[in-house]
Structure 1
Amino acid sequence: MKSRELEKSLTKEYIKEQFMLLQDRICSRLEELDGKSKFHQDLWDRAEGGGGRTRIIQDGNVLEKGGVNFSAVHGPVSEMMKKQLKLDGNEFFATGVSIVLHPHSPHVPIMHMNVRYFELDSGVHWFGGGIDMTPHYVIPEQASLFHQGLKDICDKYNPQFYPEYKRWADEYFFIPHRDETRGVGGIFYDHIKINSEGEKQMMLDFAIDLGDAFADLYKAQYALGKDKEVLPEHTLWRNLRRGRYVEFNLVHDRGTAFGLKTGGRIESILMSLPKMAGWEYDFQVKENSKEAQTLSYLKRYVDWIK
């Protein structure tokens, strides 16, 4: 594994710069994939310190709505942050990139990714992030392809990453009130504390590799679904599954809840929501239908790689 300029001092400014460049590369590749729409950028400042670049793409050939956010914020550690994140420090710095894509086609999945770095003036610092996929229709072979791609990246760094981070994703991306997972999972990790410069470089490299793989992972899923016929019942089901996505993000996602409670930028926080979603009262799927099959796969701890 080739390290990225290990001789450089791994300062928060350097990590911020790497995440900004990652956002640029991801946006460029997604615009190439979509072939029509371009990202609109909003620059914003945070009153307490820092700011970010929110980029949104809409009404494209592939993407009905997508967002690729970058932020780098800093300031005093609030009482809420101390309570919720159990922080031991007075000042913090946080930077990261987050992505959510909602395609037009019901046969192309929703995909989410984020990578982030957090640092306290006490000297504690850590990385977090992950990628997960939410198909409207679960096809095991496509889920396997996605998970294999993630495992290949993880295995470059540590063979324990994939099984550990997959389980973490299974437990995190779960909707308890529905007793179903948000999708087919992926990997998720958080508060990965650093004990040496070598570990810090490794976890930064891992985050950047995940980000750079995102467009390829999505392109592969798009290629498998783009030519399938879309019927009205498929669009209805797509919107219902989007509704489940909204439920998770607004009710259970810790990042969304924390951002809203701490006065974060609303447009950036809620960019993860689809342009349109649906809820049908007491909707029942037909027995042995593709919709019923999809629901049967929305379980935790499925071994997608056979």
Structure 2
Amino acid sequence: MDKEYIAERYKQIQDEICQALERLDGKASFVEELWTREGGGGGRTRILQNGAVIEKGGVNFSAVHGVLPEAVKHAFQVGEQDFFATGVSIVLHPNHPFIPIIHMNIRYFELNDQVRWFGGGIDLTPHYVQRDDAAYFHRQLKDICDRYDPSFYPEFKAFADRYFYIKHRGETRGVGGVFYDRLTPEKKNLSWEGIFDFSCALGEGFAPMYVELVNRNRHRKFSETNKQWQYLRRGRYVEFNLVYDAGTKFGLETNGRIESILMSLPPHAGWTYDFKPKPDSAEAETVSWLRQGVDWLAQ
């Protein structure tokens, strides 16, 4: 298993997800832009906009290489200069306030045969937290994790809770999911092939999970109040991505393509000064769930 093989499989996963999302939306199609990176490599940016379900969504593939910037070398605590990184990154912003935002990233990073790892994860950001949907999402993730190592789900779920946390707001970005980084055979009782298979299984599980969540909610009626709340929750999403997200920072520091890096931002978002939801409202209930350590699988 070499880096070219990993990149090719990730490209196939991008194709499979785009096809499934176009069928789900039923109206819009992805527009593809091929790009090259100054310094080495490139990718395929695919954007779907103004669909029946997806207001804006990106399913991106990249495989880049070159000289690692000093800031990134310091962050990774490595002295090597040449790197290779490939992955698929997805963010979907639906137009319906009862359909959640979803994000996925699967990636591989390599400096040499001794310094390389896999990372990634999937997390869900509902505008309105619905316990049944969150439980379904986490059950699917646990089932995927358990096929490879029973320690994966509790460990990676806790990592997601810590990572997708908006410190300056004191709340999680959504209901979490699973997140892992620098995963190697030395850390788990798996081969490189096993870790790669796990990475691909998450990618292959993305579309079925989101199709189910969309179809549960796409025909629900909503009000202008619901839409305004959706914009406020999108604003929180923007704050996290621009302030804390490691992938955004890595892309900017490695001279990545700006449009592809910032495709995660929604087309419309809102900020209302000192907004507080009404007591006992659906909005207040959602805020009450935005905390670390929730056991979504508890009955």
TM-score of the alignment, normalized to the shorter chain, above 0.5: yes
Deviations 1:128-173 (A, max 9, x none): 0000000000011110010000000000000000000000000000
User: What SS does the corresponding residue of 1:258 show, helix, strand or coil?
Assistant: helix
The match for 1:31 is 22
1:125 to 116, 123, 135: 116
User: What are the equivalent positions in structure 2 for 1:1-306 lying under 5 Å apart?
Assistant: 10-121=1-112, 123-195=114-186, 199-306=191-298
For 1:51 and 1:212, the matched residues in 2 are separated by 23
For 2:84 and 2:211, the matched residues in 1 are separated by 33
For 1:73 and 1:23, the matched residues in 2 are separated by 16
- Do the aligned partners of 1:56 and 1:65 also contact (CA within 8 Å) in 2? yes
- Do the aligned partners of 2:33 and 2:44 also contact (CA within 8 Å) in 1? yes
Deviations 1:83-129 (A, max 9, x none): 11222423111100000000010000000000000111353111000
- Do the aligned partners of 2:138 and 2:177 also contact (CA within 8 Å) in 1? yes
Shift of 1:199: 1.3
For 2:82 and 2:271, the matched residues in 1 are separated by 42
Shift of 1:258: 2.5
User: What SS does the corresponding residue of 1:157 show, helix, strand or coil?
Assistant: coil
* Amino acid corresponding to residue 238 of structure 1 in structure 2: Q
The TM-score, its normalising length taken from structure 1, stands at 0.95
Deviations 1:25-52 (A, max 9, x none): 0101000100111100110001110000
Structure 1 gap segments, 5+ residues each: 1-9
Shift of 1:197: 11
User: What SS does the corresponding residue of 2:45 show, helix, strand or coil?
Assistant: strand
For 1:15 and 1:259, the matched residues in 2 are separated by 20
* Amino acid corresponding to residue 296 of structure 1 in structure 2: S
- Do the aligned partners of 1:250 and 1:256 also contact (CA within 8 Å) in 2? yes
Shift of 1:200: 0.8
Q: Which runs of 4+ in 1 moved over 4 A?
A: 195-198
For 2:180 and 2:152, the matched residues in 1 are separated by 9
The match for 1:3 is none
For 1:31 and 1:301, the matched residues in 2 are separated by 34
For 1:263 and 1:78, the matched residues in 2 are separated by 9
Q: Quick one: structure 1 residues 91 and 261, their matched pair in 2 at CA, closer, same or farther if it must change by over 3 Å?
A: closer
Shift of 1:203: 1.0
Shift of 1:63: 0.2
For 1:139 and 1:197, the matched residues in 2 are separated by 35
* Amino acid corresponding to residue 286 of structure 1 in structure 2: K
For 2:158 and 2:226, the matched residues in 1 are separated by 30
User: What SS does the corresponding residue of 1:69 show, helix, strand or coil?
Assistant: strand
- Do the aligned partners of 1:88 and 1:122 also contact (CA within 8 Å) in 2? no
For 2:68 and 2:253, the matched residues in 1 are separated by 14
Shift of 1:76: 1.6
For 2:139 and 2:112, the matched residues in 1 are separated by 38
Q: Quick one: structure 1 residues 166 and 42, their matched pair in 2 at CA, closer, same or farther if it must change by over 3 Å?
A: same
The TM-score, its normalising length taken from structure 2, stands at 0.97
For 1:180 and 1:80, the matched residues in 2 are separated by 29
* Amino acid corresponding to residue 258 of structure 1 in structure 2: F
Structure 2 gap segments, 5+ residues each: none
